[in-house]
Structure 1
Amino acid sequence: MVQAWYMDDSADDPRLPHRAQPDRPVGLEQLRTLGVLYWKLDADKYENDPELEKIRRERNYSWMDVITICKDKLPNYEEKIKMFFEEHLHLDEEIRYILEGSGYFDVRDKEDRWIRISMEKGDMITLPAGIYHRFTLDEKIQGNSHSS
């Protein structure tokens, strides 16, 4: 099950959990009030998963792209990681589905406080249009990449 929490204000490595002290967990219902929806799917069969197809049909998702975020496979890896962690928003709903590995999506609540959503293989979220967000990998070694 996905975990989410309010973040601390530390400027340390973004790949750390950054849990506020005391811990302030955020449940799926609170995420839903922000327009963030969550599903747990079988990432090993994403290419022909009937549950994913049903979600795509119901929500009118017509295309997808797959991005691999690891040093060995993503050109300009360091620049891309910095870019993904820059706070931004989209004019359309954004769908993110973790097929392998793990990372954090941070979203702002209605009071501009950061909520960190810890995602791993099989987790899928949708972010509504206009919500400020960012992404970073976590501390776990991703794919073929090596921490330095």
Structure 2
Amino acid sequence: MVKAWYMDTETSDQRLEHHKNPPEFISLEELYKKTGVEYFSLNVDTYTTDGVLDKIKKDRGYTYEDQIVCSKECLPNYEEKIKSFYMEHLHTDEEIRFVLDGSGYFDVRDGSDLWIRIAVAAGDMIVIPSGIYHRFTLDTNNYIKAKRFFIGEPVWLAYNRPAEREPCRARYLRALRQGFAAPS
């Protein structure tokens, strides 16, 4: 089950938990209200046959998917890639990840521009809204295998901060001010 908490200031090792002491954990409901990030729990042993993922894909219009493995053995230019994933950025489309194996961290900014760290592991699926500043890193296990989903053709562009002129950023900030509707 996913955990989320407010982070301390930056540390030299992005792969450590580094949360406030004592940790300020937040619930999935709070995470959604503060960021618009949605969470689904799926069974990695039955997702191909139980229909749960198929229903999510149909309801949300995901028509393209692929799989990524991040590890020293599988990812060319591993250290450079991990550093690029950790650069604060946004996308013009949602970022959807379903973790099949391994673990890692997604960091997202709340409405006060504070970092919330989301620890994901096998069975966790998160949807990061278009226009939110975020980043990704592995944890100290240095391994994750995940499915990625897209509506239509995949969009791989990341816009590093500052990207305030991107229309998706304005839409995200408007949704944040208005409050996020109940997740679908």
What TM-score results when the alignment is normalised by the length of structure 2? 0.74
1:65 aligns with 2:66: yes
Q: CA deviation at 1:21?
A: 1.8
Question: Which is worse superposed, 95-104 or 8-17?
Answer: 8-17
For 1:113-132, what aligned pairs fall within 5 Å after superposition?
113-132=114-133
Task: Give CA deviations for 1:61-106 in whole Å, capped at 9, x if unaligned.
Answer: 1111211001111111111111111110011111011111000000
Task: Give CA deviations for 1:106-131 in whole Å, capped at 9, x if unaligned.
Answer: 00000000000000011000011101
The residue type paired with residue 140 of structure 2 is E
Q: CA deviation at 1:49?
A: 4.4
1:56 aligns with 2:60: no
Q: Say if 1:88 and 1:133, in contact at 8 Å, map to a contact too.
A: yes
Q: CA deviation at 1:9?
A: 0.3
Please identify which structure carries the higher strand content: 2
SS of equivalent residue, structure 1 residue 69? strand
Tell me how far apart the structure 1 counterparts of residues 36 and 26 of structure 2 sit (CA, whole Å): 14
- The residue number in structure 1 matching 2:82 is 81
For 1:1-148, what aligned pairs fall within 5 Å after superposition?
1-33=1-33, 34-142=35-143
Tell me how far apart the structure 1 counterparts of residues 142 and 117 of structure 2 sit (CA, whole Å): 19
Q: Say if 2:108 and 2:117, in contact at 8 Å, map to a contact too.
A: yes
Q: For structure 2, list consecutive stretches of 5 or more residues without a partner in the other structure.
A: 145-184
Q: CA deviation at 1:11?
A: 2.0
The residue type paired with residue 16 of structure 2 is L
SS of equivalent residue, structure 2 residue 70? coil
Q: Say if 2:69 and 2:143, in contact at 8 Å, map to a contact too.
A: no
The residue type paired with residue 15 of structure 2 is R
Question: Which is worse superposed, 45-54 or 33-42?
Answer: 45-54
The residue type paired with residue 11 of structure 1 is T
Runs ≥4 residues deviating over 6 A: none
Tell me how far apart the structure 1 counterparts of residues 50 and 107 of structure 2 sit (CA, whole Å): 27
